[in-house]
Protein backbone atom coordinates (compact mmCIF):
# COMPACT_ATOMS: atom_id res chain seq x y z
CA UNK A 1 0.00 0.00 0.00
CA UNK A 2 1.38 3.41 -0.99
CA UNK A 3 2.57 5.70 1.79
CA UNK A 4 1.54 8.80 -0.14
CA UNK A 5 -1.00 11.06 1.56
CA UNK A 6 -4.52 10.84 0.21
CA UNK A 7 -5.66 13.87 -1.79
CA UNK A 8 -8.10 16.26 -0.15
CA UNK A 9 -11.22 16.30 -2.28
CA UNK A 10 -13.00 19.06 -0.35
CA UNK A 11 -12.26 22.45 -1.96
CA UNK A 12 -10.55 25.14 0.10
CA UNK A 13 -9.59 28.78 -0.32
CA UNK A 14 -5.89 29.51 -0.67
CA UNK A 15 -4.64 33.02 0.07
CA UNK A 16 -1.23 34.30 -1.00
CA UNK A 17 -0.02 37.74 0.03
CA UNK A 18 2.92 39.33 -1.79
CA UNK A 19 4.65 42.35 -0.24
CA UNK A 20 5.52 45.07 -2.75
CA UNK A 21 8.96 46.71 -2.90
CA UNK A 22 10.15 45.21 0.39
CA UNK A 23 13.44 44.11 -1.17
CA UNK A 24 14.22 47.71 -1.98
CA UNK A 25 14.66 48.24 1.76
CA UNK A 26 18.00 47.37 3.27
CA UNK A 27 19.78 47.25 6.58
CA UNK A 28 17.88 48.24 9.70
CA UNK A 29 14.76 49.25 7.77
CA UNK A 30 14.41 45.79 6.23
CA UNK A 31 14.89 44.23 9.65
CA UNK A 32 12.09 46.41 11.04
CA UNK A 33 9.82 45.44 8.16
CA UNK A 34 10.48 41.73 8.66
CA UNK A 35 9.87 42.02 12.40
CA UNK A 36 6.61 43.89 11.84
CA UNK A 37 5.64 41.37 9.13
CA UNK A 38 6.12 38.49 11.58
CA UNK A 39 4.04 40.32 14.20
CA UNK A 40 1.30 41.03 11.69
CA UNK A 41 1.00 37.40 10.55
CA UNK A 42 1.01 36.25 14.17
CA UNK A 43 -1.83 38.67 14.86
CA UNK A 44 -3.89 37.26 11.99
CA UNK A 45 -3.42 33.73 13.34
CA UNK A 46 -4.42 34.75 16.87
CA UNK A 47 -7.46 36.78 15.81
CA UNK A 48 -10.79 35.31 16.90
CA UNK A 49 -12.25 36.65 13.66
CA UNK A 50 -10.26 34.15 11.59
CA UNK A 51 -9.85 31.24 13.99
CA UNK A 52 -12.81 29.07 12.90
CA UNK A 53 -12.15 29.79 9.20
CA UNK A 54 -8.42 28.98 9.27
CA UNK A 55 -7.93 25.45 7.94
CA UNK A 56 -4.17 26.03 7.86
CA UNK A 57 -2.70 29.05 9.62
CA UNK A 58 -0.94 31.85 7.78
CA UNK A 59 2.78 31.30 7.32
CA UNK A 60 5.53 33.51 5.91
CA UNK A 61 7.07 32.01 2.77
CA UNK A 62 9.85 33.25 0.49
CA UNK A 63 10.64 36.05 2.93
CA UNK A 64 8.21 38.57 1.43
CA UNK A 65 5.12 36.40 0.99
CA UNK A 66 2.60 34.69 3.22
CA UNK A 67 -0.04 32.10 2.57
CA UNK A 68 -2.91 30.43 4.39
CA UNK A 69 -5.82 28.07 3.76
CA UNK A 70 -9.41 29.01 4.63
CA UNK A 71 -12.55 26.90 4.77
CA UNK A 72 -14.97 29.85 4.85
CA UNK A 73 -15.17 32.71 2.33
CA UNK A 74 -17.12 34.99 4.67
CA UNK A 75 -13.92 36.25 6.34
CA UNK A 76 -12.30 37.39 3.08
CA UNK A 77 -13.57 41.00 3.19
CA UNK A 78 -12.18 41.24 6.73
CA UNK A 79 -8.85 39.77 5.62
CA UNK A 80 -8.61 42.08 2.61
CA UNK A 81 -9.30 45.08 4.87
CA UNK A 82 -6.69 44.02 7.46
CA UNK A 83 -4.00 43.32 4.87
CA UNK A 84 -4.74 46.47 2.88
CA UNK A 85 -4.61 48.65 5.98
CA UNK A 86 -1.72 46.96 7.78
CA UNK A 87 0.30 49.63 9.57
CA UNK A 88 4.08 50.04 9.20
CA UNK A 89 4.25 47.59 6.30
CA UNK A 90 4.58 47.98 2.52
CA UNK A 91 1.52 47.38 0.36
CA UNK A 92 0.46 43.78 -0.34
CA UNK A 93 -0.96 42.12 -3.41
CA UNK A 94 -3.47 39.40 -2.57
CA UNK A 95 -4.14 36.31 -4.66
CA UNK A 96 -7.17 34.25 -3.64
CA UNK A 97 -7.70 30.85 -5.22
CA UNK A 98 -10.37 28.17 -4.85
CA UNK A 99 -9.92 24.47 -5.41
CA UNK A 100 -8.73 21.25 -3.85
CA UNK A 101 -5.49 20.64 -1.97
CA UNK A 102 -3.56 17.59 -3.19
CA UNK A 103 -1.30 17.25 -0.14
CA UNK A 104 -1.88 16.79 3.56
CA UNK A 105 -2.94 20.08 5.16
CA UNK A 106 -0.62 20.93 8.07
CA UNK A 107 -1.36 23.33 10.96
CA UNK A 108 0.64 26.05 9.14
CA UNK A 109 0.34 26.64 5.40
CA UNK A 110 3.69 25.36 4.16
CA UNK A 111 4.61 22.47 1.82
CA UNK A 112 1.19 22.55 0.18
CA UNK A 113 0.19 21.87 -3.41
CA UNK A 114 -2.96 21.59 -5.47
CA UNK A 115 -5.36 23.59 -7.64
CA UNK A 116 -6.28 26.02 -4.84
CA UNK A 117 -2.62 27.10 -4.53
CA UNK A 118 -2.17 27.18 -8.30
CA UNK A 119 -5.19 29.45 -8.66
CA UNK A 120 -3.94 31.74 -5.89
CA UNK A 121 -0.55 31.96 -7.63
CA UNK A 122 -2.27 32.76 -10.93
CA UNK A 123 -4.18 35.50 -9.12
CA UNK A 124 -0.91 36.97 -7.81
CA UNK A 125 0.52 36.91 -11.34
CA UNK A 126 -2.55 38.76 -12.65
CA UNK A 127 -2.26 41.30 -9.84
CA UNK A 128 1.39 41.91 -10.77
CA UNK A 129 0.74 42.18 -14.50
CA UNK A 130 -2.24 44.49 -14.17
CA UNK A 131 -1.22 46.42 -11.05
CA UNK A 132 -4.28 45.30 -9.09
CA UNK A 133 -4.71 45.72 -5.34
CA UNK A 134 -7.50 44.72 -2.97
CA UNK A 135 -7.55 41.01 -3.85
CA UNK A 136 -7.72 39.03 -7.11
CA UNK A 137 -9.95 35.94 -7.30
CA UNK A 138 -9.34 32.86 -9.48
CA UNK A 139 -10.97 29.43 -9.49
CA UNK A 140 -14.41 30.21 -8.05
CA UNK A 141 -16.08 29.82 -11.44
CA UNK A 142 -15.88 32.08 -14.48
CA UNK A 143 -18.88 34.26 -13.65
CA UNK A 144 -18.13 34.31 -9.90
CA UNK A 145 -14.54 35.37 -10.61
CA UNK A 146 -15.74 38.25 -12.80
CA UNK A 147 -18.24 39.45 -10.20
CA UNK A 148 -15.89 39.07 -7.21
CA UNK A 149 -13.04 40.85 -8.99
CA UNK A 150 -15.32 43.67 -10.06
CA UNK A 151 -16.55 44.21 -6.51
CA UNK A 152 -12.99 43.99 -5.14
CA UNK A 153 -11.81 46.67 -7.58
CA UNK A 154 -14.66 48.99 -6.53
CA UNK A 155 -14.01 48.41 -2.82
CA UNK A 156 -10.31 49.13 -3.19
CA UNK A 157 -10.96 52.28 -5.25
CA UNK A 158 -13.49 53.43 -2.65
CA UNK A 159 -11.21 52.90 0.36
CA UNK A 160 -8.13 54.22 -1.47
CA UNK A 161 -9.83 57.62 -1.78
CA UNK A 162 -10.50 57.95 1.96
CA UNK A 163 -8.45 60.08 4.34
CA UNK A 164 -6.63 58.44 7.28
CA UNK A 165 -9.28 59.84 9.66
CA UNK A 166 -12.09 58.42 7.53
CA UNK A 167 -10.36 55.05 7.29
CA UNK A 168 -10.04 54.92 11.06
CA UNK A 169 -13.77 55.59 11.45
CA UNK A 170 -14.56 52.97 8.79
CA UNK A 171 -12.36 50.46 10.59
CA UNK A 172 -14.14 51.01 13.89
CA UNK A 173 -17.56 50.83 12.25
CA UNK A 174 -16.53 47.51 10.69
CA UNK A 175 -15.77 46.24 14.21
CA UNK A 176 -19.40 46.95 15.15
CA UNK A 177 -18.68 50.08 17.19
CA UNK A 178 -21.47 52.64 17.50
CA UNK A 179 -20.94 56.28 16.61
CA UNK A 180 -21.10 57.19 20.30
CA UNK A 181 -18.40 54.62 21.14
CA UNK A 182 -16.23 55.85 18.29
CA UNK A 183 -16.66 59.47 19.34
CA UNK A 184 -15.65 58.60 22.89
CA UNK A 185 -12.64 56.59 21.73
CA UNK A 186 -11.41 59.25 19.29
CA UNK A 187 -12.35 62.13 21.59
CA UNK A 188 -14.58 63.71 18.98
CA UNK A 189 -18.18 64.87 19.01
CA UNK A 190 -20.69 62.33 17.66
CA UNK A 191 -21.69 64.88 15.02
CA UNK A 192 -18.11 64.93 13.72
CA UNK A 193 -18.02 61.14 13.56
CA UNK A 194 -21.31 61.12 11.68
CA UNK A 195 -19.93 63.57 9.11
CA UNK A 196 -16.85 61.39 8.62
CA UNK A 197 -19.03 58.31 8.32
CA UNK A 198 -21.11 59.94 5.59
CA UNK A 199 -18.08 61.41 3.80
CA UNK A 200 -16.37 57.99 3.86
CA UNK A 201 -19.42 56.38 2.23
CA UNK A 202 -19.81 53.79 4.97
CA UNK A 203 -23.19 52.45 3.82
CA UNK A 204 -21.97 51.95 0.24
CA UNK A 205 -18.74 50.31 1.38
CA UNK A 206 -20.53 47.93 3.72
CA UNK A 207 -23.03 47.01 1.01
CA UNK A 208 -20.12 46.24 -1.31
CA UNK A 209 -18.52 43.93 1.26
CA UNK A 210 -21.83 42.15 1.77
CA UNK A 211 -22.16 41.72 -2.00
CA UNK A 212 -18.66 40.23 -2.15
CA UNK A 213 -19.55 37.76 0.62
CA UNK A 214 -22.78 36.81 -1.15
CA UNK A 215 -21.12 36.12 -4.50
CA UNK A 216 -18.33 34.09 -2.88
CA UNK A 217 -20.88 32.00 -0.99
CA UNK A 218 -22.38 31.12 -4.37
CA UNK A 219 -18.95 30.20 -5.68
CA UNK A 220 -18.10 27.96 -2.73
CA UNK A 221 -21.51 26.38 -2.09
CA UNK A 222 -21.65 22.56 -2.42
CA UNK A 223 -23.24 21.46 -5.72
CA UNK A 224 -26.92 20.66 -5.50
CA UNK A 225 -27.82 17.00 -5.69
Does residue 156 lie within any of the structural domains? Answer: no
Identify the residue with better confidence: 32 or 12: 12
Does residue 186 lie within any of the structural domains? Answer: no
> How many whole angstroms separate alpha carbon 211 and alpha carbon 32?
37
Q: What is the pLDDT of residue 6?
A: 45
CB under 8 A, 24+ apart: contacts of 86-90 = 86/40, 88/32, 88/33, 88/36, 89/19, 89/33, 89/36, 89/37, 89/40, 90/19, 90/20, 90/21, 90/22, 90/25, 90/33
How confident is the model over 181-196, as a mean pLDDT? 93
Does residue 67 lie within any of the structural domains? Answer: yes
Q: What is the pLDDT of residue 28?
A: 81
Structurally, the chain folds into a number of domains equal to 1
Does residue 69 lie within any of the structural domains? Answer: yes
How confident is the model over 191-217, as a mean pLDDT? 95
Task: Provide the residue range defining the domain that includes 57.
Answer: 8-140
Does residue 202 lie within any of the structural domains? Answer: no
Q: Report the CATH number at residue 66.
A: 3.30.70.270
Does residue 45 lie within any of the structural domains? Answer: yes
Geometric angle at alpha carbon 191, from 186 and 193, rounded to 5°: 40
Q: Which of the four pLDDT bands, split at 50, 70 and 90, describes residue 25?
A: low
Q: What is the pLDDT of residue 22?
A: 64
Does residue 99 lie within any of the structural domains? Answer: yes
How confident is the model over 43-67, as a mean pLDDT? 93
pLDDT tens, residue by residue, 114-149: 999 999 999 999 999 999 999 999 999 999 999 999
Q: Given a cut of 70, is residue 177 above it in pLDDT? A: yes
Q: Indicate if the alpha-carbon torsion angle 220, 149, 64, 119 is positive or negative.
A: positive
* pTM, 2 dp: 0.91
Does residue 201 lie within any of the structural domains? Answer: no
Amino acid sequence: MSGRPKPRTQPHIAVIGDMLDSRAASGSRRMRIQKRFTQFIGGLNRSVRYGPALRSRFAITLGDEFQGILNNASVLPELIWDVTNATDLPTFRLGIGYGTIDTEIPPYAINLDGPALHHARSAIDIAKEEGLLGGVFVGFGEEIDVAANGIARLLWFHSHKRTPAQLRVLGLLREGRTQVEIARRLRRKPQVINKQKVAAGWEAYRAGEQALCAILRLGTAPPRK
